[in-house]
Amino acid sequence: MSVPDPVEYTAKIGAVLDTVRRLLDSGSRADLAPLARRAVDDIVGMLEQHGDLAGDLQVRLDQAVALYARACAARPPDPEQLADWVLEAAFSGRAVAVADFAGALGDAGLARMKSIVDEILRGKSAEKREIAERLQEEIAEASGDVDGLVAILAAKPPRVDVSLKIVRVLRAAGRHSEAIAYAARVLTPQRARPRRAEQSQAKQLRADQSRAEKLQAEKLQAEQPQAEKPESPKEEPSIPEYRERIEQLIAQKEAAAYREAAQCLKKLRTLHRQAGTAAEFTGYVAELVNVHRRKTRLLAEIRSARIALPKG
């Protein structure tokens, strides 16, 4: 039995995905989840046969997973079976975010995922540990388990981005006093440390302290509406500095570096929005993804950071 040509197959599966997308957009009552899932599994099979020769097929896989998530949200399948599929996909290295399937998974599906992931983390195998730790964090976030998520983040090695995420999680949960107290406790001592870190890290620490001070100012403003809101100093790295840092991280070809690069992309997106150049950021991401489109782990981290990947 002959193996389909990758280019021809990519065009055909693209037409299938376009059909599924149009049906979802139209609000079709049909259960499209099985079709979308078959498309995902079929593309995975082609990638396993052709590897890097498959070209744009990796982009089609990302599209198929996104459509499967939408189809599941429209007509949720069995939550435990869906949980098993998401776990299998994640541990196979595919770009699957728990948040995209959270609605369809529901409490039962998320609970099953948590049980399996916790069991893996209790084991001694290091093979799946990194992915399991990421899933543990995503499951806690999707479940709305604020205390659990904060505990997971706090157990990580001390890093500025982790501390800031804890502050954001507490604020999003309406626990502003805790967020302010945590920011003051964690970020303030870092400013008093001797200058032994790199200059870029020092700049980021100062910017983080400014965010903590801004949180305190916002609380005071809520209590005294007439009080004038003090301005926070802006010491973020510039757009070119962020781009240079992103390229340096990608060049390391390591999972941790890819994750940090995705976080830098989020900050770069904010800078572009503030500068009124959002379209420039979109073009930059499109070029970045095109250049590094075979780095599936990098694309997975970018998707997990909620950075929109270009279509088609």
Q: Last residue of some domain: 235, 262, 295?
A: 235
Q: Last residue of some domain: 235, 267, 298?
A: 235
38 within a domain of the structure (yes/no): no
Q: Please, which contacts does 116-121 make with residues 24 or more away whose CB atoms are closer than 8 Å?
A: 116/83, 116/87, 117/87
Same domain, residue pair 214 and 196: yes
146 within a domain of the structure (yes/no): no
**The dihedral of CA 135, 137, 138, 143: what is its sign?**
positive
Same domain, residue pair 225 and 206: yes
194 within a domain of the structure (yes/no): yes
Confidence of residue 177 (pLDDT cuts 50, 70, 90): confident
Do residues 301 and 261 touch, judged by C-beta distance below 8 A? yes
Distance in angstroms (rounded) separating the CA atoms of residues 200 and 100:
34
Nearest CA to 139 among 108, 172, 111? 111
Determine the distance from the C-alpha atom of residue 177 to the mean position of all C-alpha atoms in its chain, rounded to a whole number. Answer: 27
187 within a domain of the structure (yes/no): yes
Same domain, residue pair 228 and 265: no
Q: What integer pLDDT is reported at residue 85 of this predicted model?
A: 94
82 within a domain of the structure (yes/no): no
Confidence of residue 224 (pLDDT cuts 50, 70, 90): low
Same domain, residue pair 248 and 189: no
257 within a domain of the structure (yes/no): yes
Same domain, residue pair 244 and 191: no
Nearest CA to 134 among 79, 94, 76? 94
Q: What is the mean pLDDT of the chain?
A: 81
Same domain, residue pair 179 and 227: yes
Q: Last residue of some domain: 174, 203, 235?
A: 235
Same domain, residue pair 213 and 284: no
Secondary structure of residue 252 in the 3-state scheme: coil
Same domain, residue pair 227 and 241: no
Confidence of residue 128 (pLDDT cuts 50, 70, 90): confident
Helix and strand tally (H, E) in the chain? 14, 0
Same domain, residue pair 229 and 246: no
174 within a domain of the structure (yes/no): yes
Q: What integer pLDDT is reported at residue 229 of this predicted model?
A: 45
Q: Is the pTM of this model over 0.85?
A: no
Q: What integer pLDDT is reported at residue 278 of this predicted model?
A: 83
| pLDDT tens-digit readout, 97-110 | 899 999 999 999 99
To the nearest 5 percent, what fractions of the chain are helix, strand and coil?
75, 0, 25
Distance in angstroms (rounded) separating the CA atoms of residues 217 and 229:
7
User: Is the pLDDT score of 195 beyond 50?
Assistant: no
Q: Which residue has the tokens 């599209």?
A: 63
Same domain, residue pair 199 and 224: yes
Counted domains in the chain: 2
> Which structural domain range is residue 268 located in?
237-312
- pLDDT, greater one: 211 or 280: 280
| pLDDT tens-digit readout, 232-290 | 444 557 888 888 889 888 888 888 888 898 899 988 888 888 888 888 888 888 888 88
6 within a domain of the structure (yes/no): no
